[in-house]
Structure 1
Amino acid sequence: MRVAIYPGSFDPVTLGHLDIAERGAKVFDKVIIAVMVNPHKNPLFTSEERKELIRNAVKHLPNVEVDSFPGLLVEYARDQGASVIIKGLRAVSDFESELQMASLNRHMYEAAETLFIPTNHNYSYLSSSIVKEIARHGGPIADFVPKHVELAMREKFSNQS
């Protein structure tokens, strides 16, 4: 069985993230969307909330699971028996840092290949940070995230006021 890990903070999960997940699910027997837990960041959603939002968004993909992990991605990939790490690339600027990370991951866990999937051009401008900033100011985000994520974001920001 070919297992791939699709790591990220997914705070929040966007339509761009989901596009990469759907495309990865066509190629691999099992894709694990792995929410990275970074204690040094202050995310909008907890890791449990992010996992639930993602699960709701990928429920139509039977070979996709959602999990979270602290620590090193390569250790998590090894524990899951994954041989591939999926990374979405929006622009050439993403490639340089992602290539460096792929090389380091490969050095630490030789069995893991990194598969770069170029973002659909419809989402090349999209990032979780931009979506959060727009939502924080009450702007329209319906074209960027699933409806349930939009509602959850609106609720979070209304509670912060």
Structure 2
Amino acid sequence: MTPFGPVRTLESPLPLAEATARVTDGLLGRRKLLGPPRVVRGRLHDGQLRLSAGHRRGRNAWRPVLHGRLIEAEDGSRLVYRLGWSPLSEAFTAVWFAALGLFLVVGLIRTVIVAASGGPGSLQGALVFLAAVVGMAAFGAALVTAGTWQGRADAKTVTRWITERLEATEA
């Protein structure tokens, strides 16, 4: 799973009204707590579709989310979608690593300046700063990797669910 998944298309033989009704009828509301361990939640409004796999066991900010548009086609309906992170997760990850990149550049410049001035105690502080930046980068990478890895089954669940609901095939 990547933050920006490729654009995909599902072709359905169902008319748009029936496809819309099937998707809407199959969605589980946010407030329903009991049910199967993995369910598909989301919303469909004015053809805009957002789906994710819900769990009783917890939340995962990097779980895959299907964003798409259900439209009328000549021989039924069509879902044009992308499966990737939520926009909030994309923004958080981008800000996190951009800030780390800035800290790394500042830290490297500081380390070079301190090393050139010849202060051994100051050099140790600059190297500790750089080590902290590297540690934060490793933590961020591990967090994103673990969340993405944990959500791999969710991508299959959401894709299988929408494909079955729409009796669709990949275009």
Same fold judged by TM-score > 0.5? no
| Greater strand share, structure number | 2
TM-score range, shorter chain: under 0.3
User: Does 1 or 2 have the higher relative contact order (CA < 8 Å, sep 6+)?
Assistant: 2
Query: TM-score, length-normalised on structure 2?
Result: 0.21
- For the pair shown, the structure with the greater C-alpha radius of gyration is 2
Query: TM-score, length-normalised on structure 1?
Result: 0.22
| Greater helix share, structure number | 2
